[in-house]
Chain A
Amino acid sequence: MSVFPTATDHPAARALAGRHRLRLWEPLPWLLALAFYVAFPTYLGFGTDLLVTILFAISLDLVLGYAGIVTLGHAAFFGAGAYTVGMLAFHGIWAEPITSLIAAAAVAALVGLLSGLVLLRTTGLTLLMLTLCTMALLEEAANLAHDWTGGFDGLPSIAIPPLFGLFEFNPLYPNTQYLYALGVLFICFVFVRVLVYSPFGQSLTGIRENTLRMHAVGAPVRMRLIVCYTISAAIAGIAGGLWAQANAYVNLSTLGLDRAATVLIILVLGGYGRLYGAFVGAVAYMVLSHLLAKIYPTAWQLGLGLLLVIIALFARGGILGVGETLLRWFGRRRPSP
């Protein structure tokens, strides 16, 4: 062993090189998702909605958590994807599930690219307002283009052909929808995981932490942001398309502020910039609201509100942040061997 550690031996270098390695607990969410399928066959409608929300939250995490782009209009891409799938199927043009999802991703990516080219010249509050405006414009367009989009009532009863020509989408027992959503979520997640640990992902984190410095080292900051925004839009579009297929209809709620705000809350609740924050946040928020709403149909929002107040006051890093703090705390208290 030499006196001077080489570049690869240095603890920091090792930490960097080992960041992307699979950890022991990482298959856990997927095993839980499969266990849910077996254990709660009558909750699969809710489960499908949960998986779609996780995917949507992951797409937001990419721009908000990693690249630091503050947006309140991410539902624009969700809606673009949902309406792509919905309109293609409703007007009898194309309904095959998987290729429809690819189309949804493409359309949402296009919307993301075009709006990103303009929006990402701005930062802070201006950016926030402009993302909101983009979404509002799309929503109003969908409302007015009644002949194509069904307006306020939406497109009802879209017929989705069986997956791979084999598995029916049963509205009452959405087993197929659940596994299909799980599969799509898995593929997208693996992609995002590779992306954020790649040099490209590292440069996004750099931009989030110190834009000026990234400019100074010669990174093409705006280009990186636009690419990231477009990729994120595509994934949000897939989530929207999945939502449209699982529900077999599309309406204006896919483009609403409600959806954009909820996913933001979910991500903050779980912990943004953490890859698994989307999972934890969506599960915590949606399971809690679902169960509370079942017990107290008129007053469940009170319980949810209290949780959010507590998280906002005491846990800035979200639920995952609290977990990390606790782990560190216990780690420090443990007597050294």
Chain B
Amino acid sequence: MIRRIVAASAALAISASLAHAQEVKVGVNLPYTGIGAEFAQLIDRGMEMYLKLNADKVKPYKITLIKRDAKNPGGADAKIVTQELLTQEKVDILAGWVYSPNAIASAPIVTAGKKLSVIMNAGTAHITNMSPYYVRTSFSMWHAGYAIGEAAAKQLKAKTAVVGYTDFPPGKDSLAAFKRSFEANGGKVIDEIPMGGAGAVPDMTPFFQRAKDKKPDVFFVFVPAGDHAAAVTKTYGALGMRQAGIKLIGPGDITQDTKLQAMGDAAVGLITMHHYHADLDNAENKRFVAAWKKEYGANTTPDFMAVGGYDGMALIAHVVQQLKGNIDTDKALASIKGWKFNSPRGPISVDPDTRDIIMNEYLSEVVKGSDGKLHQKVIGKIDNVKDACKAQKIAPCA
């Protein structure tokens, strides 16, 4: 009798561990409601798109997404979501984080919970330093900001620049990154203009007039993706800055694919540096964009946020395969170090020292296509860009 019980319980234990090996639970922490809902939807669709397009890369394992609403950038709700995903759902991996303050607030829990946590958007540079379990598949503000400083000086042959930025951490990061590399390459930033906060879109005219009066070669602008960006192109056109010979440049946040068409012809000629836009010419991206339009409608488009979710899921699938569905966090962290992936944004990998992404940055110009729509044409490329803030150990990242 006792032997039978032992045998039965052993069989049960084995089947339980097999069942565990088959299913991997991923807790998703995204702001599905409120002002971040639009971004959460893009990232969510990016993740789902990966699972749909690459079902063969997940088999024989099953990745279950447990989605929770992080609600707002306040941090407290995101923190409770993280805590409950870890203690109630007992997830194997965490993913998501649109807002940097939420990722910062969640850091102590992520550290205490000891689970691989894939950041799919939040871009404040030093976040990955805050917990050894954070891995980022999106970007840091320094990727584009640093790269465009170099490109502005070398490729656009600019000598002087004015910087206009939205006065919150990503804006300040962008300013610091651009200034550092632009001046290292012989340029000079002659004015820095804070242009209001991230909460509401200000009237851009006085800021742009001040920039115009300084007569720089380029006007570097960082504003949050979304409605701020539309105001930027409009004001640039209205003040006749192009005719005055001032080029408008910025990171790709200001030409987010989902907002590009609404900007109209004023956006033509805009030069941006970013790791992704939907017009990138590579096979992987063509497949991605075509599948997206088929799934969500011809008028929709993926953008850099969607690709952050897509690549994050690719990383998770890789970890699941490497560990055969048994997610041990230390092994998972070890397995991402040699990870290389052919993403819609080109080849990417994760820096083993900083757990931040290494990717190409593309210098692109907005052009009007023969179809009457706006497109982004790649006019330059920098390969394998690391987060310069951590690579050079600049103040907040040191």
Contact = CB atoms under 8 A, between A and B. Distances in A.
B76 A49 contact: yes
Interface string A276-312: 0000000000000000011001111100000000000
Given A143-B197, A151-B168, A170 B72 contact: no
Contact of A247 (B76, B124, B167): B76
B67 A156 contact: no
Contacts of B101: 152-154, 251-253
Interface in B89-108: 100-101, 104-105, 107-108
Given A172-B112, A247-B75, A297-B68, A152 B105 contact: no
A252 B87 CA distance: 27
Contacts of A252: 101
A157 interface: yes
B87 A42 contact: yes
A156 B107 contact: yes
Contact of A153 (B71, B83, B112, B124): B124
B32 A171 contact: no
B105 A46 contact: no
B80 A45 contact: yes
A253 B72 CA distance: 9
Nearest to B171: A152
Which interface class (under 10, 10 to 19, 20 to 34, 35 or more) fits A? 20 to 34
B130 interface: yes
Main secondary structure of the interface of A (DSSP, over half): helix
B113 interface: yes
A156 B104 contact: yes
Nearest to B74: A253
Contacts of A170: 112
Nearest to B67: A297
Contacts of B54: none
A152 B198 contact: yes
Contacts of B111: 171
B33 interface: yes
A45 B130 contact: no
A173 B83 CA distance: 8
A209 B104 CA distance: 47
A45 B83 contact: yes
B54 to A, nearest CB: 24
A107 interface: no
B75 A253 contact: yes
Contacts of B86: 172
A258 interface: yes
A120 to B, nearest CB: 28
B74 A258 contact: yes
Contacts of A153: 100-101, 104, 124, 169
Given A154-B75, A157-B108, A297 B32 contact: yes
A243 interface: yes
B71 A293 contact: yes
Contacts of A154: 75, 101, 104-105
Contacts of A258: 72, 74
Interface in A45-100: 45-46, 49
A97 B34 CA distance: 33
Contacts of B84: 42-43, 45-46
Interface in B62-86: 67-69, 71-76, 79-80, 83-84, 86
Given A173-B87, A258-B74, A298-B32, 16 more contacts: A143-B167, A151-B169, A152-B168, A153-B100, A153-B101, A153-B169, A154-B75, A157-B107, A171-B83, A171-B109, A172-B113, A243-B76, A251-B74, A294-B68, A297-B69, A300-B69
Interface of A: 42-43, 45-46, 49, 143, 151-154, 156-157, 170-174, 243, 247-249, 251-253, 256, 258-259, 293-294, 297-301
19 contacts: A49-B80, A151-B168, A153-B100, A153-B101, A154-B75, A171-B111, A171-B112, A174-B83, A243-B76, A247-B75, A247-B79, A248-B108, A249-B75, A249-B104, A249-B105, A253-B74, A258-B72, A294-B68, A298-B32
Interface of B: 30, 32-33, 37, 67-69, 71-76, 79-80, 83-84, 86-88, 100-101, 104-105, 107-109, 111-113, 124, 130, 167-169, 197-198
